[in-house]
Amino acid sequence: MKLFYALSAHVASAFADNIEIVGGTEAAVGKHLYVTSLRLSSGDTTECGGSLIAPNVVLTAAHCNVEINGAIKYAGETIAIKQQIVHPKYNKNTNAYDFAIFILASNSKQTPVPVSFDTVGANVPVVVRGWGATSEGGSEPNALLELTINTLDNTKCASLLSGYNVDSTMICVGGQAGKDSCQGDSGGPLTIETNGQESLVGVVSWGIGCAEANKPGVYSRISAARDFIEPYLTSSPTAAPTTAPTTGPTTKPTTVAPTTKPTTTKALLSVERASTATTQLERVA
């Protein structure tokens, strides 16, 4: 089952433009139906991922922020994006607080993923899922992929990624050659399983290359954004809170954003459902 949203979008990051799964395996059919996929209408490439966290709320990355544009058409469950809210402290140069909320015009029939605000330590097995490519610059899979990897201590991660900002709003994962998220799954879910219960603990954010040794993937840490995320879980709102945004970090960033002017292109946000082993696509004209 799929949900399609017609949007106008520019998807960009100051680091890896998109994130994809490298070294993963196909996820079980009919499970993890909360995983979403952002696709350009001009092609079948996954630009970003996301997670259904309430019947009408999708959590994704702030650098996947898009501009809403008009009507949506699809033969099946069709839900428009009514509103999108970027974390008020998001810093596009450092990728701190890389979170965004998409509020849907109506409820999805699928079950949202539980969200955990517990702090995740080092050496904890976690799972990343998505439809991104299986190698840097490579092709996308036809099914939802998943990869189990361990979290990494932030201090060690910062040392491995010297010259880039790694702070308390982030979770580092992996660093093992041949296993990583890569282009295409930015905004997608990082989950943990406790007593048989899957819960969301992170959002795919950025990385250096794909699946390189000693180059961990970096995820936005959900426990660092509880005040931002939690209101959308309890009330499944139809509009954003009215709290005024706060300014982002004032310290000089360790990296700079691309200097080229972004292009605007029509996009398609598809909440792809793993009801079959392969992903079926539709394009919005």
Residue 13 known to be catalytic: no
Rounded Cα distance, 69 and 269, in Å = 11
SS (HEC) of the chain: CEEEEEEEECCCCCCCCCCCEECCEECCCCCCCCEEEEEECCCCCEEEEEEEEECCEEEECHHHCEEECCCCCCCCCCCCEEEEEECCCCECCCCECCCEEEEECCCCCCCCCCECCCCCCCCCEEEEEECCCCCCCCCCCCCCEEEEEEEECHHHHHHHCCCCCCCCCEEEECCCCCCEECCCCCCCEEEEEECCEEEEEEEEEECCCCCCCCCCEEEEEHHHHHHHHHHHHHCCCCCCCCCCCCCCCCCCCCCCCCCCCCCCEEEEEEEECCCCCCCCCCCCC
Of 37, 41, 51, 63, the catalytic one is 63
Rounded Cα distance, 222 and 151, in Å = 14
Residue 186 known to be catalytic: yes
Given phi > 0 = left and psi -120 to 50 = alpha, else beta, which region is 137? left
Of 13, 41, 98, 181, the catalytic one is 98
Of 13, 37, 186, 205, the catalytic one is 186
Residue 98 known to be catalytic: yes
Q: Which residue has the tokens 């976690």?
A: 126
Contact in structure between 27 and 279 (CB atoms under 8 Å):
no
Q: Return the active site residues.
A: 63, 98, 186
